[in-house]
Amino acid sequence: MRMVIAVVFSLVFIAVGGLFALADVTPNPVSQHWLAAAHATVEVKTWAFKTLIVICANSVTGFPKLQVTLIFILATWLAYVHVRWQPYYFQWMNHTRAGLYSMTAFVALMLNINGWWEHTLQHDTSLDLASKAARSATHAKLLSDLAVKLLPVALGLGAGVSWLRLNIAVKRALAKFRALGPVDAEAIPGLRDIHKFLDPYEVEIIARCCRCWVDYEDKELDKEPLKLAELVIKAGLARFPQSAHMVLVYVNFLGSVVDSRQACSSQLQAAKNLDPNLLDRCGAAARRCLAWCC
Protein backbone atom coordinates (compact mmCIF):
# COMPACT_ATOMS: atom_id res chain seq x y z
CA MET A 1 0.00 0.00 0.00
CA ARG A 2 2.81 2.39 0.88
CA MET A 3 4.48 1.66 -2.43
CA VAL A 4 1.26 2.46 -4.32
CA ILE A 5 0.89 5.77 -2.44
CA ALA A 6 4.54 6.65 -3.16
CA VAL A 7 4.14 5.91 -6.88
CA VAL A 8 0.90 7.92 -7.12
CA PHE A 9 2.38 10.96 -5.40
CA SER A 10 5.52 10.70 -7.52
CA LEU A 11 3.44 10.71 -10.68
CA VAL A 12 1.45 13.68 -9.42
CA PHE A 13 4.68 15.55 -8.65
CA ILE A 14 6.07 14.78 -12.13
CA ALA A 15 2.84 15.92 -13.78
CA VAL A 16 2.62 19.17 -11.81
CA GLY A 17 6.30 19.94 -12.45
CA GLY A 18 5.76 19.29 -16.14
CA LEU A 19 2.81 21.69 -16.20
CA PHE A 20 4.87 24.40 -14.54
CA ALA A 21 7.62 23.85 -17.13
CA LEU A 22 5.02 23.97 -19.91
CA ALA A 23 3.78 27.34 -18.66
CA ASP A 24 7.27 28.84 -18.46
CA VAL A 25 7.03 31.05 -21.55
CA THR A 26 7.12 34.84 -21.89
CA PRO A 27 5.57 35.95 -25.19
CA ASN A 28 7.26 39.37 -25.03
CA PRO A 29 10.52 39.55 -27.02
CA VAL A 30 11.57 42.75 -25.22
CA SER A 31 10.83 41.56 -21.69
CA GLN A 32 13.29 42.80 -19.08
CA HIS A 33 12.70 39.90 -16.71
CA TRP A 34 15.92 37.97 -16.19
CA LEU A 35 14.28 34.53 -16.49
CA ALA A 36 11.99 35.40 -19.39
CA ALA A 37 12.06 32.57 -21.96
CA ALA A 38 10.94 32.74 -25.57
CA HIS A 39 9.42 29.25 -25.48
CA ALA A 40 8.90 26.36 -23.07
CA THR A 41 10.58 23.68 -25.19
CA VAL A 42 13.87 23.71 -23.28
CA GLU A 43 12.19 23.86 -19.85
CA VAL A 44 10.00 20.87 -20.69
CA LYS A 45 13.00 18.89 -21.94
CA THR A 46 15.00 19.93 -18.87
CA TRP A 47 12.25 18.69 -16.55
CA ALA A 48 12.03 15.41 -18.46
CA PHE A 49 15.80 14.85 -18.32
CA LYS A 50 15.96 15.69 -14.59
CA THR A 51 13.10 13.29 -13.92
CA LEU A 52 14.81 10.50 -15.86
CA ILE A 53 18.10 11.12 -14.00
CA VAL A 54 16.31 10.73 -10.65
CA ILE A 55 14.57 7.57 -11.88
CA CYS A 56 17.89 6.12 -13.07
CA ALA A 57 19.59 6.99 -9.77
CA ASN A 58 16.92 5.20 -7.75
CA SER A 59 15.56 2.44 -9.97
CA VAL A 60 18.51 1.04 -11.95
CA THR A 61 20.73 0.30 -8.95
CA GLY A 62 21.00 -3.36 -9.93
CA PHE A 63 22.82 -2.44 -13.16
CA PRO A 64 25.57 0.01 -12.13
CA LYS A 65 27.23 0.27 -15.57
CA LEU A 66 23.91 1.00 -17.27
CA GLN A 67 22.98 3.41 -14.49
CA VAL A 68 26.07 5.61 -14.69
CA THR A 69 26.01 5.56 -18.50
CA LEU A 70 22.38 6.70 -18.67
CA ILE A 71 22.97 9.44 -16.10
CA PHE A 72 25.96 10.73 -18.07
CA ILE A 73 24.04 10.74 -21.37
CA LEU A 74 21.07 12.56 -19.83
CA ALA A 75 23.26 15.12 -18.03
CA THR A 76 25.21 15.81 -21.24
CA TRP A 77 21.99 16.21 -23.21
CA LEU A 78 20.76 18.59 -20.51
CA ALA A 79 23.73 20.89 -21.16
CA TYR A 80 23.40 20.50 -24.93
CA VAL A 81 19.77 21.68 -25.16
CA HIS A 82 20.68 24.94 -23.41
CA VAL A 83 23.62 25.55 -25.73
CA ARG A 84 21.64 24.61 -28.84
CA TRP A 85 18.33 26.39 -28.26
CA GLN A 86 19.30 29.37 -26.04
CA PRO A 87 15.80 29.78 -24.55
CA TYR A 88 16.26 32.95 -22.48
CA TYR A 89 16.08 36.47 -23.88
CA PHE A 90 19.08 37.60 -21.80
CA GLN A 91 22.28 36.15 -23.22
CA TRP A 92 24.08 35.89 -19.90
CA MET A 93 21.28 33.75 -18.47
CA ASN A 94 21.70 31.23 -21.30
CA HIS A 95 25.45 31.10 -20.77
CA THR A 96 25.07 30.74 -17.00
CA ARG A 97 22.61 27.86 -17.34
CA ALA A 98 24.79 26.17 -19.96
CA GLY A 99 27.80 26.47 -17.64
CA LEU A 100 25.92 25.08 -14.63
CA TYR A 101 24.58 22.10 -16.56
CA SER A 102 28.07 21.50 -17.98
CA MET A 103 29.23 21.13 -14.37
CA THR A 104 26.51 18.52 -13.87
CA ALA A 105 27.62 16.70 -17.02
CA PHE A 106 31.25 16.76 -15.85
CA VAL A 107 30.36 15.26 -12.47
CA ALA A 108 28.32 12.60 -14.31
CA LEU A 109 31.39 11.88 -16.44
CA MET A 110 33.50 11.32 -13.31
CA LEU A 111 30.75 9.06 -11.96
CA ASN A 112 30.73 7.13 -15.23
CA ILE A 113 34.50 6.65 -15.20
CA ASN A 114 34.42 5.49 -11.59
CA GLY A 115 31.53 3.08 -12.26
CA TRP A 116 33.25 1.36 -15.17
CA TRP A 117 36.60 1.27 -13.41
CA GLU A 118 34.96 -0.25 -10.33
CA HIS A 119 33.33 -2.92 -12.52
CA THR A 120 36.72 -3.81 -14.06
CA LEU A 121 38.38 -3.89 -10.65
CA GLN A 122 35.79 -6.22 -9.11
CA HIS A 123 36.25 -8.71 -11.96
CA ASP A 124 40.04 -8.74 -11.62
CA THR A 125 40.82 -12.24 -10.29
CA SER A 126 44.49 -11.45 -9.63
CA LEU A 127 43.66 -9.25 -6.61
CA ASP A 128 42.33 -10.19 -3.19
CA LEU A 129 39.42 -8.42 -1.48
CA ALA A 130 41.63 -6.16 0.66
CA SER A 131 43.60 -4.95 -2.37
CA LYS A 132 40.42 -4.30 -4.31
CA ALA A 133 38.95 -2.29 -1.43
CA ALA A 134 42.12 -0.21 -1.09
CA ARG A 135 42.34 0.53 -4.81
CA SER A 136 38.65 1.33 -4.99
CA ALA A 137 38.90 3.86 -2.15
CA THR A 138 42.01 5.49 -3.66
CA HIS A 139 40.49 5.76 -7.10
CA ALA A 140 37.20 7.14 -5.78
CA LYS A 141 39.04 9.83 -3.76
CA LEU A 142 41.17 10.74 -6.78
CA LEU A 143 38.11 11.21 -9.02
CA SER A 144 36.24 13.13 -6.30
CA ASP A 145 39.15 15.55 -5.81
CA LEU A 146 39.54 15.92 -9.57
CA ALA A 147 35.83 16.64 -10.01
CA VAL A 148 35.82 19.33 -7.29
CA LYS A 149 38.94 21.07 -8.60
CA LEU A 150 37.83 21.05 -12.24
CA LEU A 151 34.24 22.20 -11.65
CA PRO A 152 35.11 25.87 -12.36
CA VAL A 153 36.74 24.75 -15.61
CA ALA A 154 33.55 22.91 -16.61
CA LEU A 155 31.52 26.01 -15.74
CA GLY A 156 33.72 28.25 -17.85
CA LEU A 157 33.85 25.77 -20.73
CA GLY A 158 30.07 25.39 -20.88
CA ALA A 159 29.49 29.15 -20.69
CA GLY A 160 32.21 29.76 -23.29
CA VAL A 161 30.79 27.26 -25.77
CA SER A 162 27.33 28.79 -25.29
CA TRP A 163 28.72 32.28 -25.91
CA LEU A 164 30.54 31.19 -29.05
CA ARG A 165 27.54 29.30 -30.41
CA LEU A 166 25.20 32.27 -29.91
CA ASN A 167 27.47 35.06 -31.10
CA ILE A 168 28.82 33.27 -34.15
CA ALA A 169 25.31 32.29 -35.30
CA VAL A 170 23.87 35.76 -34.70
CA LYS A 171 26.74 37.69 -36.30
CA ARG A 172 26.80 35.49 -39.41
CA ALA A 173 23.07 35.81 -39.96
CA LEU A 174 22.75 39.52 -39.20
CA ALA A 175 25.67 40.36 -41.50
CA LYS A 176 23.72 38.92 -44.43
CA PHE A 177 20.62 40.94 -43.62
CA ARG A 178 22.51 44.18 -42.91
CA ALA A 179 24.20 43.85 -46.32
CA LEU A 180 20.76 44.26 -47.96
CA GLY A 181 20.45 47.82 -46.66
CA PRO A 182 17.18 49.59 -45.80
CA VAL A 183 14.78 47.69 -48.03
CA ASP A 184 11.30 46.22 -47.60
CA ALA A 185 11.05 42.46 -47.27
CA GLU A 186 8.48 42.29 -50.08
CA ALA A 187 11.01 43.81 -52.49
CA ILE A 188 13.69 41.18 -51.87
CA PRO A 189 13.76 38.24 -54.32
CA GLY A 190 14.59 34.91 -52.76
CA LEU A 191 13.93 36.16 -49.25
CA ARG A 192 13.75 32.62 -47.84
CA ASP A 193 17.29 31.84 -49.03
CA ILE A 194 19.15 34.86 -47.61
CA HIS A 195 20.13 32.76 -44.61
CA LYS A 196 19.53 29.04 -44.21
CA PHE A 197 17.95 28.97 -40.75
CA LEU A 198 18.06 25.58 -39.07
CA ASP A 199 14.55 25.91 -37.65
CA PRO A 200 12.04 28.55 -36.44
CA TYR A 201 13.77 28.62 -33.04
CA GLU A 202 16.93 29.85 -34.78
CA VAL A 203 14.93 32.65 -36.42
CA GLU A 204 13.67 33.79 -33.02
CA ILE A 205 17.21 33.80 -31.61
CA ILE A 206 18.50 35.96 -34.48
CA ALA A 207 15.49 38.30 -34.19
CA ARG A 208 16.49 39.15 -30.62
CA CYS A 209 18.62 41.87 -32.21
CA CYS A 210 15.52 44.03 -31.60
CA ARG A 211 16.42 43.99 -27.89
CA CYS A 212 18.38 47.23 -28.14
CA TRP A 213 17.21 50.07 -25.95
CA VAL A 214 17.80 53.80 -26.33
CA ASP A 215 16.62 54.18 -22.73
CA TYR A 216 16.45 50.93 -20.75
CA GLU A 217 14.56 52.41 -17.78
CA ASP A 218 11.85 53.94 -19.98
CA LYS A 219 11.81 50.83 -22.23
CA GLU A 220 12.43 52.91 -25.34
CA LEU A 221 13.70 50.71 -28.17
CA ASP A 222 16.13 51.64 -30.92
CA LYS A 223 14.20 51.80 -34.23
CA GLU A 224 16.97 50.54 -36.50
CA PRO A 225 17.34 47.06 -34.91
CA LEU A 226 13.54 46.73 -34.97
CA LYS A 227 13.53 46.97 -38.76
CA LEU A 228 16.32 44.44 -38.97
CA ALA A 229 14.49 42.02 -36.66
CA GLU A 230 11.31 42.33 -38.72
CA LEU A 231 13.27 41.50 -41.87
CA VAL A 232 14.76 38.44 -40.15
CA ILE A 233 11.32 37.24 -39.03
CA LYS A 234 9.79 37.72 -42.49
CA ALA A 235 12.66 35.72 -43.99
CA GLY A 236 11.87 33.01 -41.43
CA LEU A 237 8.20 33.08 -42.40
CA ALA A 238 9.16 32.66 -46.05
CA ARG A 239 11.40 29.71 -45.16
CA PHE A 240 8.96 28.02 -42.74
CA PRO A 241 5.49 29.01 -44.00
CA GLN A 242 3.76 25.99 -42.43
CA SER A 243 5.32 26.33 -38.99
CA ALA A 244 2.93 27.43 -36.25
CA HIS A 245 5.90 28.28 -34.03
CA MET A 246 7.32 30.59 -36.69
CA VAL A 247 4.00 32.42 -36.94
CA LEU A 248 3.91 32.74 -33.14
CA VAL A 249 7.34 34.39 -33.23
CA TYR A 250 5.86 36.96 -35.61
CA VAL A 251 2.76 37.29 -33.42
CA ASN A 252 4.87 38.10 -30.37
CA PHE A 253 6.87 40.63 -32.36
CA LEU A 254 3.73 42.34 -33.63
CA GLY A 255 2.04 42.34 -30.22
CA SER A 256 4.88 43.42 -27.95
CA VAL A 257 7.35 45.26 -30.19
CA VAL A 258 5.36 46.81 -33.03
CA ASP A 259 2.23 47.09 -30.84
CA SER A 260 -0.12 46.23 -33.71
CA ARG A 261 -2.97 44.41 -31.98
CA GLN A 262 -5.10 43.90 -35.08
CA ALA A 263 -2.26 42.30 -37.07
CA CYS A 264 -1.30 40.30 -33.98
CA SER A 265 -4.85 38.93 -33.67
CA SER A 266 -5.06 37.91 -37.34
CA GLN A 267 -1.65 36.19 -37.24
CA LEU A 268 -2.63 34.39 -34.03
CA GLN A 269 -5.62 32.94 -35.85
CA ALA A 270 -3.33 31.93 -38.73
CA ALA A 271 -1.09 30.08 -36.26
CA LYS A 272 -4.13 28.26 -34.87
CA ASN A 273 -5.02 27.06 -38.37
CA LEU A 274 -1.57 25.48 -38.80
CA ASP A 275 -2.29 22.70 -36.29
CA PRO A 276 0.18 23.77 -33.56
CA ASN A 277 1.61 21.25 -31.10
CA LEU A 278 1.00 21.38 -27.36
CA LEU A 279 3.93 23.70 -26.66
CA ASP A 280 2.84 26.14 -29.35
CA ARG A 281 -0.73 26.05 -28.05
CA CYS A 282 0.55 27.05 -24.62
CA GLY A 283 2.56 29.84 -26.23
CA ALA A 284 -0.53 31.08 -28.05
CA ALA A 285 -2.54 30.97 -24.81
CA ALA A 286 0.17 33.00 -23.05
CA ARG A 287 0.04 35.53 -25.89
CA ARG A 288 -3.74 35.89 -25.51
CA CYS A 289 -3.40 36.28 -21.72
CA LEU A 290 -0.81 39.03 -22.24
CA ALA A 291 -3.13 40.79 -24.69
CA TRP A 292 -6.02 40.67 -22.20
CA CYS A 293 -3.86 42.06 -19.39
CA CYS A 294 -2.58 45.01 -21.44
Q: What is the pLDDT of residues 200-251, one digit of tens each?
A: 999 999 999 999 999 888 888 998 899 999 999 999 999 999 999 999 999 9
What is residue 293's predicted lDDT score, i.e. its pLDDT?
61
**3 state SS for the chain:** CHHHHHHHHHHHHHHHHHHHHHCCCCCCCCCCCCCCECCCHHHHHHHHHHHHHHHHHHHCCCCHHHHHHHHHHHHHHHHHHHHHHCCECCHHHHHHHHHHHHHHHHHHHHHHHHHHHHHHHHCCCCCCHHHHHHHHHHHHHHHHHHHHHHHHHHHHHHHHHHHHHHHHHHHHHHHHHHCCCCCCHHHCCCHHHCCCCCCHHHHHHHHHHHCCEEECCCCEECHHHHHHHHHHHHHHHHHCCCCHHHHHHHHHHHHHHHCCHHHHHHHHHHHHCCCCCHHHHHHHHHHHHHHHHC
pLDDT digits (tens, 9 = 90+) for 259-280: 888 888 889 999 989 989 999 9
In this prediction, the residues of the chain whose per-residue pLDDT falls under 70 are 291-294
What is residue 138's predicted lDDT score, i.e. its pLDDT?
83
What is residue 89's predicted lDDT score, i.e. its pLDDT?
96
What is residue 294's predicted lDDT score, i.e. its pLDDT?
54
The chain-wide mean pLDDT, for the chain, equals 90
What is residue 204's predicted lDDT score, i.e. its pLDDT?
96
What is residue 121's predicted lDDT score, i.e. its pLDDT?
77
In the chain, what's the furthest Cα-to-Cα distance? 80
